[in-house]
Amino acid sequence: MARILIIYSTTDGHTREICNRLREIIEQQAHQVTLVPVGEVADADLERHDRIVVGASIRYGKHRPAVVEFIERNAEVLNRRASAFFSVNVVARKPAKNQPHTNPYVRKLLQKVSWRPTQVAVFAGKIDYPRYGVLDRMVIRGIMWLTGGPTDPKAVVEFTDWRQVEAFGGVIAKM
Ligand SMILES: Cc1cc2nc3c(=O)[nH]c(=O)nc-3n(C[C@H](O)[C@H](O)[C@H](O)COP(=O)(O)O)c2cc1C
């Protein structure tokens, strides 16, 4: 049995949902999973776990600064453990951008930090227009119009491939 820490950054909750699914899959393999938002993780938590997973969504082209800061501050301990990173963004709904090495946000993050995760994944996220404020809705609709995505202001579209998420849970359980 391994103790696995999943640290996440979410704005609208979708990355947390992905983490919950990962947790279910990993716990089925008799490992112990702790889920914690990036703002609440303590250094001691890292020491207490055998494997560390970081999952973060993209907003306006970036992972939240708290995520990058956390990774940079803890790169050394992360590199000493089996570890995984995943990014959640809607660009990953495009087949040409749905792999860690083809997704611009994953590439940029891994170029920036000295952490070398054992496993990396990218998942397509969710569009939830009714949930967004007026300005965000307008901007995201504009981007979707430009990139061939949904523009109906009432649309809620989940692009996530849950089988891919489950498969990644299996990878974390074994890494
Ligand atoms: C205000 C806003 C800005 C976003 N910017 C981007 C972006 O620049 N690139 C992208 O691929 N996805 C972008 N997204 C899509 C989110 O990454 C996607 O909705 C994801 O599922 C959000 O996950 P979360 O609920 O865990 O934060 C944006 C979403 C919102 C609401």
- The response to whether residue 59 sits with its C-beta less than 6 Å from ligand 1 reads yes
Q: How far is the CA of 151 from the centre of ligand 1 (A)?
A: 15
The model scores a pTM over 0.85: yes
Ligand 1: atom nearest CA of 91 is 11
Would strands 82-89 and 119-124 be described as parallel, antiparallel, or unpaired? Answer: parallel
User: What is d(CA 167, CA 165) in angstroms, rounded to the nearest whole number?
Assistant: 5
* Per-residue tens of pLDDT for the chain, all 175 residues: 999 999 999 999 999 999 999 999 999 999 999 999 999 998 889 999 999 999 999 999 999 999 999 999 999 999 999 999 999 999 999 999 999 999 999 999 999 999 999 999 999 999 999 999 999 999 999 999 999 999 999 999 999 999 999 999 999 999 9
Q: How far is the CA of 174 from the centre of ligand 1 (A)?
A: 29
